[in-house]
Structure 1
Amino acid sequence: MASYRTNRVTGATSNIGRAIAEAFAAEGAHVAVSGRSPERGREVVEGIRARGGLADVLVNNAGIYPGDTTAATDEKTFDEVYAVNVKAPFFLTAAVAPAMVDAGGGTIINLCSWIARLGIPVGALYSSTKGAMETLTRAWAAEFGPHGVRVNAISPGVVQTAAPGEVHPAEVMMKGTPAGRMGTPEAVADAAVYLAGDESSFVHGIVLDVDGGRTAVAVIAG
């Protein structure tokens, strides 16, 4: 496993982003946390302070999901979702990747989604942004890979944390899958640590499904 000098995780104050930030910190990274909640941000930072390492990593995780139908989506919402989910990671990568090249290399990990490849009747806007991020992953791998910056993506499945003793409504979407249950933020974080480390040094331009088999295996209703 590589050690890490700088790790920038967008949307790191909750759920998957927080788990990724904490996982990298456990590997010895200095983690730059960003998100919309200063209070949650301070809580995350307190838990991962004073750790260090040697290689640069950018995790494009921040995203917003308005679960509306196409007809119910207005232009303002369209622009906001694309600004956060596509424009922000595009220009952040444009700024960071050349610096990684100058520093001798680095890793970029994009967070995508299973619904980019398996349609559901709501969320067309969100899924289209994640399809764009899959395309950017491959394009950036071709653009930056020859210069020492590896680019890959993770496609999480249904990842939610139910309250103790309760069944989350999204649990039904994992019935009939090989895993048979929802995933955890920690499972996605483990995949991010793998894609950033030396163990994946020959891995370029992939979208790693961490979804309990939701997109790769026929779901058997039962």
Structure 2
Amino acid sequence: MTSLSLTGSVALVTGATSGIGAATAAALAEQGAHVLVAGRSAARGEAVVASIRERGGKADFVAADLGDAASVRQLARRATELGGGRVDILVNNAGVFPFKPTEEVTEEEFDAVYDVNVKAKFILVGELAPAMAARGKGAIVNTSTMVASYGMSGMSLYGSSKAAVNLLTKAWAAEYGPRGVRVNAIGVGPTRTEGTAAMGENLDGLASQAPLGRPAAPEEIAAAVVYLASDAASFVQGVVLPVDGGRTAV
């Protein structure tokens, strides 16, 4: 069986200071990757890094505002520097998810969602994937959502931004796959994190519609990311893997 080991690789994880991103950073580090923890909060980022280091892993924090294109490009440069000249794994995890009726969405809110959920990913892939391709190997994992696959009231803005991510995943697989870069995504279902705490019972209600009937823990989502980033998924390319408790299966 092909190993999940990521020893010797450098992984950049965006939105890694809490929730799914923090769990993913920890899981990648446990498999031997040098993890670059990207986010806006230095305090939370350094806490994630400290936790990884306490368990014997290797990690560094990189500050970035993914709503600003210049900051995203700087993140790519700084990550490459901290990685000793390379980034082998890119986990495009950061995202924002406002839920509201279409008529209540302002232009500023629309732009902010697409800046983080789509544009930042587009820039990071453009900055980092060519070097992966030049080395003949790399892995990119994009975080998407189950509501990118079907319509749900109040989620037009969020769902449409992630539907763009699903298409970009396939387009990037076609573009960089022939040169050794695997590009995949995970379609995440309701997950209990700091960011979804405000949803309260609505999170459980949404989760109850799936066969498993409960929200995921961040570590369950992170396990899927590790799989797609590792050589265990060496023949997996251009897919959006549902990690949603079976919601999109019924």
TM-score by length of 1: 0.91
Q: Deviations over 1:190-216 (max 9, x none)?
A: 001110111110000000000001111
Shift of 1:68: 1.6
Aligned residue for 1:124? 156
Aligned residue for 2:68? none
Aligned residue for 2:70? none
Q: Which runs of 5+ in 2 are unaligned?
A: 59-82, 195-199
Q: Which runs of 5+ in 1 are unaligned?
A: 218-222
Residue of 105, 122, 126 corresponding to 1:73 = 105
Q: Deviations over 1:44-73 (max 9, x none)?
A: 011123636998100000111111211001
Residue of 45, 48, 52 corresponding to 2:52 = 48
Select the structure that is richer in helix: 2
Shift in alpha-carbon separation, 1:68–1:176, aligned structure 2, 3 A:
closer
Shift in alpha-carbon separation, 1:149–1:81, aligned structure 2, 3 A:
same
Q: Secondary structure at the match of 1:112?
A: strand
Aligned residue for 1:148? 180
Q: How many pairs does the alignment contain?
A: 214
* Corresponding letter in the other structure for 1:45: V
Contact 2:12/2:87 (CA < 8 Å) preserved in 1? Answer: no
Shift in alpha-carbon separation, 1:154–1:102, aligned structure 2, 3 A:
same
Contact 1:161/1:168 (CA < 8 Å) preserved in 2? Answer: no
Shift of 1:37: 1.6
Shift of 1:174: 2.1
Contact 1:2/1:55 (CA < 8 Å) preserved in 2? Answer: no
Aligned residue for 1:2? 5
Q: Deviations over 1:110-132 (max 9, x none)?
A: 00001111221112111111000
Shift of 1:161: 4.3
- Which range moved further: 126-135 or 61-70? 61-70
* Partners of 2:209 and 2:190 in 1: CA distance: 13
RMSD: 2.0
Task: State how 1:188-199 maps to structure 2 within 5 Å.
Answer: 188-199=221-232
- Which range moved further: 46-55 or 132-141? 46-55
Aligned residue for 2:34? 30
* Partners of 1:107 and 1:179 in 2: CA distance: 29
Q: Secondary structure at the match of 2:248?
A: coil
* Partners of 1:74 and 1:176 in 2: CA distance: 30
Q: Secondary structure at the match of 2:141?
A: strand
Contact 1:100/1:106 (CA < 8 Å) preserved in 2? Answer: yes
Shift in alpha-carbon separation, 1:125–1:205, aligned structure 2, 3 A:
same
Aligned residue for 1:220? none
* Corresponding letter in the other structure for 2:5: A
Shift of 1:156: 0.7
TM-score by length of 2: 0.81
* Partners of 2:219 and 2:29 in 1: CA distance: 13
Aligned residue for 2:71? none
Shift in alpha-carbon separation, 1:36–1:115, aligned structure 2, 3 A:
same
Q: Secondary structure at the match of 1:120?
A: coil
| Runs of 4 or more above 4 Å deviation | 52-55
Shift of 1:176: 4.5
Q: Deviations over 1:69-115 (max 9, x none)?
A: 11001111111111111000001000000111122310000000011
* Corresponding letter in the other structure for 1:94: G
Aligned residue for 2:234? 201
Contact 1:3/1:55 (CA < 8 Å) preserved in 2? Answer: no
